[in-house]
Amino acid sequence: MTLVLAMLLDALFGEPKAIWDRVPHPAVLMGRAVDALDRALNAGTMRRAKGVAALALLVAGAYALGWLIAAVPDFGALEVIVAAILLAQKSLVDHVRAVADGLRQSLPAGRQAVSMIVGRDTGAMEEPAVARAAIESAAENLSDGVIAPAFWFLVGGLPLMLVYKITNTADSMIGHRTPRHEAFGWASARFDDLLNLIPARLTALLIALAHGWTNPAPILRDAPLHRSPNAGWPEAAMAVVLDVALSGPRAYHGVMSDFPWVWPEGRRNAAAKDIDAACRALWRAWGLMLLIVAGLALIWR
């Protein structure tokens, strides 16, 4: 029931700007912790071992903090609030919907909005590419920002939810194959892959079932084509339920990469209305997850 309340609280209020303009968001604090360890340890020799040690410190600290919060004798009120803050359903929908609103104003406005949620080059994107990028981000972040933290809360309460969030933050900051982070970020990237293994596939299942899609063949075919071992699963599911071809060629740092299409049978003329459909899909998958969690709560009473 703690998770049910947290999901509802996040869905209603999201991330109130009035609060986070005054105090640092927990994600910001996590980022500062990762950055501090990066600056302190990522130098000299044995960088992979130092990266393992940094991740161990982050995970141990997150687990201990989660345990302390859950142990506060307040009938779980603080735990509900913290769990709600660590979920990102409403804020995800708001950011994705902003891209559709931008495209309706103008192509430059759509590019600007999508540049806030993706890492690829957006300056030369046409409308279908902008829409595809927003839809892909919606699918991937449904897994990373909502289903995965909720899943780990179900498995081990707030401590494991915080472990997941700090690992995901570390992966996003240092889990890149760059000269600086190839070795130091290896542990964070691999552990993040492991923690997302089940949630990514669960997200794909939720998206598909929430739309009555029961044929797993195209998802099983296309998900492994993604460069990420996990992100392809929710993306493939979103592609088939919207009947929109996703992924495909895109540019990073001025270099065009010819990635394979996900659900190549789908339409390639994605537009603002397809982003709207993706937002509705986010809520339908979230609603199914909420029903599952509520059902588990009734069983465990």
Strand 261-262 relative to strand 250-252, pairing: unpaired
Other beta carbons less than 10 A from residue 17's beta carbon: 8
What confidence tens digit (pLDDT) does each residue in 163-206 have?
999 999 999 999 998 999 999 999 999 999 999 999 999 999 99
User: What is the C-alpha separation between 208 and 220, in angstroms, rounded?
Assistant: 12
Mean per-residue pLDDT, 64-84: 96
| Domain boundaries, position 264 | 2-300
Torsion on CA atoms 145, 149, 151, 152, rounded to nearest 10: 150
Residue of 135, 164, 146 lying closest to 66 (CA atoms): 164
Residue 41 phi, psi (nearest 5): -110, -25
The mean pLDDT value of the chain amounts to 96
Q: Which uninterrupted H or E stretch holds 194? A: helix 186-210
DSSP assignment string, 114-177: HTTT--S--TT--HHHHHHHHHHHHHHHHIIIIIHHHHHHHHHHHHHHHHHHHHHHHHHHH-S-
DSSP bridge partners of 267: 244
Model confidence at 237: pLDDT above 90: yes
CA gyration radius for the chain? 19
Number of domains comprising the chain: 1
Q: E-strand spans in the chain?
A: 246-247, 250-252, 255-257, 261-262
- Please report the pLDDT score of residue 10 as a whole number: 98
pLDDT, tens only, 244-265: 999 988 888 888 888 899 999 9
